[in-house]
Amino acid sequence: PSGAEPATKIVINLERLQQLPAEKVGPLARYAATIQSQRGDYNGKVLSIRTEDLRSLAIIYDMTPGELTEQLIDWGVLPPEARPAKED
Ligand code: C2E
Ligand code: C2E
């Protein structure tokens, strides 16, 4: 099917992230916590990150950015709307 396209707007659901086992989401959870710390922003239920950060995370997870987007949607960390519409 379709998919495997990188997300265009990356808005992480922090509550969902905390519910998932650390062995799955550990690197992502640490990355998100670091960004929160750098911004001094601890109050949100969601965290917007840079497109560039998705590329870095994809390297860490040994996936393409599009595959990682699909994985994050599967986990409920990204909403299905994060999946870019295919133009075909
Ligand atoms: P920085 O990259 O030098 O950005 C300095 C400030 O510019 C940020 O302070 C923020 O107020 C603003 N800024 C930069 N890019 C954007 C953007 O795309 N959207 C908005 N709305 N504002 C932007 P802030 O938020 O206190 O962040 C401090 C530092 O923490 C940043 O310095 C950067 O080094 C790091 N950081 C924060 N958020 C992220 C992130 O999502 N990804 C990465 N890789 N680093 C981040
Ligand atoms: P946003 O603030 O709506 O910014 C949308 C896009 O505009 C960013 O996508 C980036 O391409 C560009 N942009 C905005 N501000 C700056 C800036 O100061 N410097 C540069 N070089 N580009 C800028 P991007 O990078 O994918 O970020 C997506 C969203 O992540 C941002 O949406 C914002 O909500 C968040 N974000 C990213 N970096 C920071 C940051 O350093 N601090 C904070 N507070 N939020 C950030």
Amino acid letter, 16: R
Q: List the structure tokens of 53.
A: 């950060």
Counting atoms of ligand 1 from 1, which one is nearest the CA of 49? 41
Nearest CA to 17 out of 31, 34, 29 is that of 29
Does any ligand 1 atom lie closer than 6 A to the CB of residue 38? yes
Express each pLDDT in 45-78 by its tens digit: 999 999 999 999 999 999 999 999 999 999 999 9
The structural domains of the chain, with segments of one domain joined by +, span 10-82
Tell me how far apart the alpha carbons of residues 65 and 57 are, in angstroms, rounded to a whole number.
8
* Overall fold of domain 10-82: Arc Repressor Mutant, subunit A (1.10.10)
Nearest residue (by CA) to ligand 1, atom 30, is: 38
Counting atoms of ligand 1 from 1, which one is nearest the CA of 40? 26
This prediction has a pTM of 0.90
14 burial (CB, 10 Å; 0-12 / 13-18 / 19+) is: middle
